[in-house]
């Protein structure tokens, strides 16, 4: 019997490398635009509001709020067959941008839109760390 397909891993680019490197260092790092005074995510070359090339990489706590979520009880692709159910979430970072991730270490019955979340650094191999989220512990 052939091995199950493995989930795809990110392929860092010139613009995304600082984000992925930050995760390997256990840091959430996103871009900030001084010209628009805005935090920016997803990584890009120019600020979305001003088109200035002034984006700076800054470390943030990575905490946020659950904006929305869905529970995928069937694999979203063959590569995720061993990971169902997946709790796919949109997290609104405290700095404003939203990102898509997965929730871990939480019972489905306890999930609530608006709940506070903290980052979890998931080392999937020696080169790749993924950003997941779990309920904030105070």
Q: Tell me the per-residue pLDDT of 2-57, one tens digit each, with 9 for 90 and over.
A: 566 778 899 999 999 999 999 999 999 999 999 999 999 999 999 998 999 999 99
Q: Read off the tokens for 54.
A: 């002034």
Least confident window among 3-7, 47-51, 85-89, 111-115: 3-7
Helix (H, G, I), strand (E, B) or coil at 126: coil
pLDDT over 70, % of the chain: 97
Chain position carrying tokens 């628009």: 36
Contacts of 46 (CB under 8 A, 6+ apart): 52, 53, 55
Residues of the chain with CATH 2.40.50.840: 62-138
pTM equals 0.91
Cβ atoms of 92 and 64 closer than 8 Å: yes
Q: What is the CATH number of domain 62-138?
A: 2.40.50.840
With vertex at residue 98, the alpha carbon angle to CA 96 and CA 104, rounded to the nearest 5 degrees, is 120
């Amino acid at each position: 019997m052939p091995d199950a397909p493995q989930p795809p891993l990110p392929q860092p680019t010139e613009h995304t490398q600082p984000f992925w490197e930050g995760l390997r260092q256990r840091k959430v790092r996103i871009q900030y635009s001084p010209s628009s005074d805005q935090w920016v995510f997803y990584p890009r070359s120019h600020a979305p509001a001003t088109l200035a090339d002034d984006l700076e990489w800054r470390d943030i706590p990575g905490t946020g709020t659950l904006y929305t979520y869905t529970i995928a009880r069937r694999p979203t692709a063959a590569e995720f067959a061993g990971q169902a159910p997946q709790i796919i979430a949109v997290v609104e970072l405290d700095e404003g941008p939203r990102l898509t991730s997965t929730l871990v270490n939480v019972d489905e019955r306890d999930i609530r839109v608006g709940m506070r979340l903290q980052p979890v650094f998931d080392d999937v191999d020696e080169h790749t760390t993924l950003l997941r989220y779990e309920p904030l512990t105070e």
